[in-house]
Amino acid sequence: MSLPSLRRAAGAMFLALGAACQSYQPVSVNRLTPNAAVRVALTPGGRQTLAPVLGPNVESVTGTVTAWDSTGVTLRVATIRRTEGLDEVYENIPPVVFPRDAVGDVALRRTSAVRSALLAGLLAGGAIALGGSIGGQSASHQRGAGGQSGGQ
Pairing of strands 72-82, 87-89: antiparallel
pLDDT of 139 reads: 47
CB 82 within 8 A of CB 57: yes
Query: Domain locations in the chain?
Result: 1-21+112-129, 23-110
Written as one letter, the residue type at 88 is E
CB 18 within 8 A of CB 116: yes
Q: Return the CATH fold of 23-110.
A: SH3 type barrels. (2.30.30)
pLDDT of the chain along its 152 residues, tens only?
Answer: 565 665 666 565 555 555 557 889 999 888 899 999 999 999 999 999 999 999 999 999 999 999 999 899 999 999 999 999 889 998 878 999 999 999 999 999 988 656 556 666 666 666 677 666 666 554 445 555 555 555 44
Q: For the full predicted model, state whether its pTM sits above 0.85.
A: no
Cross-strand bridge partners of residue 37:
64
**79: nearest Cα among 62, 56, 93, 58:** 62
CB 36 within 8 A of CB 64: yes
